[in-house]
Every structure is written in structure tokens, then in C-alpha cells.
Amino acid sequence: MLLTRLSHYIDGTPHDSSSLWRMTDLVDMSSRPPPDAMLPRNEPMLRADAYAIWFRWFMEGLCNPLRYVEDETKTIIDVLADVLARVDALYSSEPQDERIAFAQKISQRIMLEVERHRQLKRVGASRAIKRDLVDAAGSEPRCWICGFKFSGQAVDRFLKKRKGIELDLPKFVDVLKPRGILSRDIRIEVDHIVPVAGGGGGKDNLALACGWCNKSKGARTSIYDADGRPPRSVYALGSVVWHELPHPFWTVRILATRARCEHAGGCSATVKNAELFIAPGDARGAPNPSNLHIYCAEHDPYAAHRFFGREVAKRIWDDRARAVA
């Protein structure tokens, strides 16, 4: 049954990408959503991230929370007046009591956003906050995204116990998640789980991350905030030649949402107790989000091949070019 649905879907999908620029073709494509289970990996995240963007655009398109942030005399009454006007215009044929109830619901959500933005002050990572974060991490402070275990030297540098410590760069770097090419990569940084630019504030929003994960995450929250195509570079993992690298933000997004080893036989390794690695689920598929898998060191099929000399890994990443359609 699934194959029948997939076959219909393939038949109805134009192979000519110029159709992506024709409105009639877009209308046709939008009437045929991809069948469930089309994507073997990460389908819930790939759908949820798309829906989350639609939802944000829907809410903010109705009424932009940033209109009320600066002027603190503006309250939910002001928001409601604006939202109601928009709802009346957009849904004029709906009963009035339903329009009012709907506008109230929307206004409450928008007001929450307004308040988040108002409170939003980047919690400067004071030494006390850093100390708290390290203490909360227990005996093995790790990156909350990839599970990389920080060295004692990195902890000392982070807490400024010793001034001017330069961290020792690793000799070998995981080519798929190239942490360690730059010294920032292996430092400890304070990550805003929800980026400040996206309304994240407060101490609960802070976590320890390695510099590589933190810089690769940036202010992005959705898989669609990153390029849709992987960077291109040619390299070999064992006997398999690869033509693309996993986009660093895909790696971060999938690691942070999976947070555990996905070995088919089951595994107790999580981001809290082990470093996790990204790899294509199948070497014949491209390293894109429908084919990327998380493994612990023990179950990683590329454990013997993914580590390259630092200079070689650097060259592979320096060589990358955006793939062209």
C-alpha cells in the first residue's frame, strides 16, 4: 500500500524544477501532500519544523508582537483590538461570538510573545552562573547537544581559574562533525537553548555547549533555517566515497532532538552519558535529514573511518561548495 501511494506521488511530482516557479504547478503540488512514512528518518521533526514555521508566520502575520514591545503601556487590550480587526476582516462570514473568542485566544498567545520580548535580557554568563551550570552538570560536564565531554582544562578556562589557557587542539577530527579545527570548537560556551533573537531569556534557557555546536546552531531553531542542500566536498569514509557533508545545523538539530544512540538493537547511550555521532543511515543515500542517524562510539558504523588528521579535515571543509541544482 505504501509503495502504491509513493508511486502515485512520484508520478504526480514534476521532474522539471522550473515548475517550482509556476503558480499552477504549485497549486497542483500543494493539493498532494507527501504520503506518511515517505521519509525514513526524522520525519516527525521534518514535519513539525515546517508546521512550526507556518504557525509562527500565521500568528505574526495576523498581528506582529514586535509592534507592542517597546511601548510598555500597551496591554492585551491593545493587542485584542488589533487582532479583532484582522479577524473580522479575514473571517467576516463566521459568527461574531466565534470571531471574538478566536481573537481572544490569538491575543493571549501574542501577548505571551510580547512579554517574552520585554523580559528578554541576555543573561550575561556571570562567573556564578557558569559555576552553577558546571555544578549542575555533575562529575562529567558535557555539551548538551552532542554529549562531548569537556576536558578539565576547558572547565578551568571556562571558569577562568587559570588565565590565558590555550586548549590543546585534537590531532584527529571527526570529518562529519568537525569539532576541533578551530580552538573555539572545543571551548565551553553558554548556549541560549532558545536564541535570544527568538525570544529566549532567563536562566533556565542556558546550557553548556561545545563551541562547535554553539556556532553551528547560531540563532536557528528550525531545520528549514539552514540551507536545503548539503555542502559539497569529496572524501572517503573507508571504501565509500562521499560527495557531500552533512550541514552542520542539520547535525546539531538532529542531535539535540534525538539525544540518544539509534542503534537498531537498542542502546543506553544518551547525550547525558556519551558523545554522540552523526552518520548516514545508509551509505547509498545522501547525508541529508531523511538519511541521517545518531550513534554512540560503540555502534557507529564509521568509527574506524570518520577521524581525519586535523589539517585534512580542515581542507575537506574548506573545499566545500554549495551544491548547485
Report the interface residues with Zn ion, using CB under 5 A: 143, 145-146, 148, 210, 213, 261, 263, 267, 269, 296, 299
Q: CB of 294: closest distance to Zn ion in angstroms?
A: 9
Query: Grid coordinates in use for 287?
Result: 547525508
Could you tell me if 160 and 169 are in contact, meaning their C-beta atoms sit under 8 angstroms apart?
A: no
Q: CB of 185: closest distance to Zn ion in angstroms?
A: 9
Q: Which of 60, 53, 57 is nearest to 225 (CA)?
A: 53
Give the residue with the Cβ less far from Zn ion, 111 or 269: 269
Give the residue with the Cβ less far from Zn ion, 145 or 226: 145
Could you tell me if 150 and 210 are in contact, meaning their C-beta atoms sit under 8 angstroms apart?
A: yes
Could you tell me if 181 and 173 are in contact, meaning their C-beta atoms sit under 8 angstroms apart?
A: yes
Q: CB of 184: closest distance to Zn ion in angstroms?
A: 12
> What is the chain's Cα-based Rg?
23
Alpha-helical regions (H) of the chain: 2-12, 23-30, 43-62, 66-69, 76-90, 96-119, 127-136, 152-158, 211-217, 248-258, 310-318
Residue 292, beta-bridge partner list: 280
Query: Grid coordinates in use for 115?
Result: 512579554
Q: CB of 272: closest distance to Zn ion in angstroms?
A: 13
Give the residue with the Cβ less far from Zn ion, 210 or 223: 210
Give the residue with the Cβ less far from Zn ion, 79 or 181: 181
Q: CB of 201: closest distance to Zn ion in angstroms?
A: 22
**What share of residues in the chain are helix, strand, coil (percent, to 5)?**
45, 15, 40
Give the residue with the Cβ less far from Zn ion, 83 or 186: 186
Number of residues that this document lists for the chain? 325
CA dihedral 164, 170, 171, 177 (to 10 degrees): -140
Give the residue with the Cβ less far from Zn ion, 80 or 173: 173
The DSSP 8-state label assigned to residue 241 in this structure reads E
Q: CB of 229: closest distance to Zn ion in angstroms?
A: 23
Give the residue with the Cβ less far from Zn ion, 94 or 282: 282
Question: Mind giving me the DSSP string for 291-321?
Answer: SEEEEETTT-TTTTTSEEEHHHHHHHHHT-E
Q: CB of 154: closest distance to Zn ion in angstroms?
A: 12
Could you tell me if 303 and 275 are in contact, meaning their C-beta atoms sit under 8 angstroms apart?
A: no
Give the residue with the Cβ less far from Zn ion, 142 or 230: 142
Q: CB of 161: closest distance to Zn ion in angstroms?
A: 22
Q: CB of 296: closest distance to Zn ion in angstroms?
A: 3
CA distance 23 to 212: 41
Give the residue with the Cβ less far from Zn ion, 65 or 141: 141
